[in-house]
Amino acid sequence: MKRIGIMTTGGDCSGLNTVIQRIYRGATLRGWKVIGILDGTDGLCTNPPRTIDFTNDTLPIENARLAGSFLHNGRAGALNFESAAKYGKLEQFNKQLRKSLLELKLDAMILIGGNGSLSLAWRNREIYAGLQLICIPKTIDMDIPLTDRTIGFNTAVQQLTSFCDQLMLTARSHHRWFITQAMGRDCGQLALHAGIAVGATAILIPEIKFSVDSLIKHVRNAPTDYGIIMVSEGISLRGHSGKPADMISRKLTAAGIVNRTAFPEHTQRVGDTTAADRILATRMADCALHAIENNETYVMTAVNNCECKTISLADFFAAGSVTDDPNIPDLQTSDAYVSPDDPLLDIATDMGIYIGESK
């Protein structure tokens, strides 16, 4: 009987509980035992490691739709890769992770994480030597190379769209513009998708240069005197500091355009998991279990051209834009961004949305 470990790491999102429950269901049908790691690598770093044995009542199927992670993603103040590097305890931390995994006697570990967690797993792969490591990509940012979709992204787009739908009503009542700041770090996918969904007048993302003067002209010439200006949190404005939405708001106010800022913040990370994300979570859980059956290791599940299959972590890491991690010395992260050839950019332009100066 195989012993399978599951852990969720990095930022949370909707869909984590769905993939956890589906992994448990598929594993038990195969006669395997499933062990949940609480608090991700934080939980592995304690002695003994914090774990939970799964049963049918551990995570009921009706709760699998809920946001967040039943297993948790980490605790403030805990020793993790970042804090270990900060206090010069990275070698000690890695040794404890390795020791905990040996104590648990796992045959395979399924790690559900974002691009940072997956990059860490690949760059520190010796920690997982002797067991199969299968990664499942989840993030609301959709910044993971070599997969068309990540768990949690669809629900985040829906959450942000619903937030803006309500803003649009008060915007119309007061002839006012709302500058809405989306999450996404340095990737503009969330802002781009939600902006198109809500019918934004302008969408500003980190990947596309924009002109404040062109934005102001576009807003003044818009067919309405109200609407949404979607701003990704990763944009910058030369000579200005602060939150991007506030910077844009000040520019519009100076131009005589009535506006307010709106920050949906962590509401983008929550909400009942959409059907699309539940299906994606189920497909990736099934793919991960087949990978274990096929004795694969150091792989990631991915969906491309509607097909779900595994790719090597080496290919994942090499395919993205590799940057130095600002908090962990000698660590690099592989990132994906909105491509200049993304058809949504042309669609946005065709729909009269100001997307920046390159289109």
Q: How confident is residue 319, by pLDDT bands cut at 50, 70 and 90?
A: very high
If asked whether residues 14 and 106 sit together in one domain, one would say yes
If asked whether residues 280 and 309 sit together in one domain, one would say yes
Report helix, strand or coil for 347: helix
From CA 113, how far away is CA 137, in angstroms rounded? 5
pLDDT of residue 327: 78
Catalytic one of 12, 39, 42, 141: 141
Task: Specify which residues 53 forms β-bridges with.
Answer: 35
Report helix, strand or coil for 66: coil
Q: For residue 204, what is the domain's CATH number?
A: 3.40.50.460
Q: Which two tokens stand for residue 231?
A: 């701003």
- pLDDT of residue 358 exceeding 70, the answer is no
pLDDT of residue 241: 86
pTM of structure? 0.96
Domain with 220 in it: 157-269+340-350
From CA 219, how far away is CA 352, in angstroms rounded? 11
Phi, psi of 27 (to 5 degrees): -70, -45
Q: Which two tokens stand for residue 341?
A: 């050839």
pLDDT of residue 330: 76
Q: Which two tokens stand for residue 178?
A: 């709302």
Q: Is residue 359 part of a domain?
A: no
pLDDT of residue 83: 85
Best CA proximity match to 344, nearest among 328, 359, 334, 330? 359
Known catalytic residue at 141: yes
pLDDT of residue 315: 98
Chain-centroid distance of CA 35 in Å reads 24
If asked whether residues 265 and 277 sit together in one domain, one would say no
Best CA proximity match to 125, nearest among 270, 241, 298, 341? 298
User: How many domains does the chain fold into?
Assistant: 2
Best CA proximity match to 41, nearest among 100, 87, 88? 100
From CA 121, how far away is CA 128, in angstroms rounded? 8
If asked whether residues 8 and 138 sit together in one domain, one would say yes
Burial pattern 24-48, b for ≥16 Cβ within 10 A else e, equals bbbbeeeebebbbbbbbbbbbbeee
If asked whether residues 128 and 182 sit together in one domain, one would say no
